[in-house]
Structure 1
């Protein structure tokens, strides 16, 4: 595979991104652009809800930064980066194009990635687990309404902090961690994902959907949720030696911080450490 001609601070074997929600006013497109300009990879997995067709059907919102993200991803695909788009629920309008190419981007519903050390990771968006997580129609509708309120509060908080010269902080994410029902739903979702990984006889699973970044080993299976670019601004990377890291973009410092990692490689090289 030919390498793209980018001068970036960090180059990885693999980058995972999900829940960008282009077309939604809560998308943190500027932060993602900064991350992508500083980080390149041999392959990029887009783990669903990249374009938010639901939001676009309600209200057309498409600033230039959203164009720039799509153009940058398509450009890297044209220049030799392997780009895989795993469809989610907000971009399900593209399901007729599963297993086809779109500008050198491969479209799938699920895919199994083999790390450099031979570990197999099932990858999918994760909306198929909703029936195993939901507490009933009333709680589902109530949850959607409350989430809209959380995102509105998040926007107001971010606007105030920005005027004060303070870095981004997710009020929505903080509040969610304090709600018992939300934490129970997150646990149910994780358990459903792990059960699916076990059924498919893989070493781990990478998903998105619930906007809750997490990496942990459960009963011998690695569960990874690479988070989102609505609330948390998180991503996951595989280093050249096979180590996995869950990262959060820190806009105030223009770099990432490591939230969790799985050292599946033989060693942590200096390159791996620099990628943090």
Structure 2
């Protein structure tokens, strides 16, 4: 059995690195139970929280914090206590933490960005990505408007999937469909990826790990390895680095939710 296949005595799979982003704790659409289940199935040397883990925008409007959200925080603290290095990379929804950048307590480091070196020697920029979103950076009122539109689509999505389940159909993502079908949304994602790839080339880095757009992806963009964590609102995805340096995409599954026995799937890179 190789090191990458090692399981602890409690049945957790041990990997080198895990990245998660866009959890949005403090919102009703956060899939906290699924995230806690995922985290309970793994141990890792390094854990990156790639922004928008806590949704400060929503919490400013109304307080929503069920026990399941506390359970996620408790699991993150437990991982830190047991030796996992936790790096919290701030995002735009938890931008209130940016004033405390470079804050370090125990095994938890708070930063605006980081550089991760994989086991095979590649250097990856780890950043939430809102800094490369023209709307978020230059037109904050549009960003807030877009956030309200996304929240509305999630509410509509809950209603649609309630009736789909009643009629025996599986989960279907309205916002995911729009991202793949609406031309402007597709163009926005492409421009976002290109901007991050350009930044990596400027810094002589081989790749990037980001979040922000809630669109999980592993692919090559102009010679740069682009990795997007996705989110824990709809897609419930994460990125995992194994002991040989390969990075794969994990997606939580209703059919087999236990990650210790549900191996991650390899995403096939696409050449832009």
TM-score category, normalised to shorter length: 0.7 to 0.9
Change in CA separation of 1:136 and 1:83 when aligned onto 2, cut-off 3 Å: closer
Aligned with 2:218 (options 215, 218, 225):
215
Q: Which residue of 2 aligns with 1:249?
A: 252
Change in CA separation of 1:7 and 1:111 when aligned onto 2, cut-off 3 Å: same
**Residue 141 (structure 1) shift:** 6.3
Task: Give the gaps of 5 or more residues in structure 2.
Answer: 1-7
Aligned with 1:151 (options 148, 151, 154):
154
Aligned residue pairs, count = 259
Contact 1:153 1:172 in 2 (8 A): no
Q: Distance in 1 between matches of 2:131 and 2:180?
A: 23
- Alignment deviations for residues 25-82 of structure 1 (CA, whole Å, 9 cap, x no partner): 1101111111111222111000000000111111111010000000100111011011
Q: Which residue of 2 aligns with 1:38?
A: 41
Secondary structure, aligned partner of 2:134: helix
Q: Distance in 2 between matches of 1:165 and 1:62?
A: 31
Q: Which residue of 1 aligns with 2:77?
A: 74
Secondary structure, aligned partner of 2:265: strand
Query: TM-score with structure 1 length normalisation?
Result: 0.85
Q: Distance in 1 between matches of 2:263 and 2:216?
A: 14
Computed over aligned residues only, the root mean square deviation of the Cα atoms, in angstroms, reads: 2.5
Q: Distance in 2 between matches of 1:170 and 1:259?
A: 22
Secondary structure, aligned partner of 2:267: strand
Task: Give the gaps of 5 or more residues in structure 1.
Answer: 263-276
Deviates more, 1:195-204 or 1:170-179: 170-179
Deviates more, 1:211-220 or 1:48-57: 211-220
Q: Which residue of 1 aligns with 2:5?
A: none
Secondary structure, aligned partner of 2:114: strand
Q: Distance in 1 between matches of 2:180 and 2:212?
A: 16
- Alignment deviations for residues 216-255 of structure 1 (CA, whole Å, 9 cap, x no partner): 1122110111110112111000001111101211123214
Q: Which residue of 2 aligns with 1:11?
A: 14
Give 1:68-147 correspondences, 5 Å limit.
68-102=71-105, 104-131=107-134, 143-147=146-150
Q: Distance in 2 between matches of 1:97 and 1:141?
A: 23
Q: Which residue of 2 aligns with 1:181?
A: 184
Q: Distance in 2 between matches of 1:167 and 1:8?
A: 29
Aligned with 2:265 (options 251, 258, 262):
258
Q: Which residue of 2 aligns with 1:224?
A: 227
Q: Distance in 2 between matches of 1:81 and 1:184?
A: 38
Q: Distance in 2 between matches of 1:68 and 1:164?
A: 32
4+ residue stretches of structure 1 with deviation over 6 A? 132-139
**Residue 8 (structure 1) shift:** 3.4
Q: Which residue of 2 aligns with 1:271?
A: none
Change in CA separation of 1:21 and 1:145 when aligned onto 2, cut-off 3 Å: closer
Deviates more, 1:183-192 or 1:171-180: 171-180
Contact 2:248 2:264 in 1 (8 A): no
Give 1:158-173 correspondences, 5 Å limit.
158-161=161-164, 168-173=171-176
* 1:27 matches 2:30: yes
**Residue 149 (structure 1) shift:** 2.2
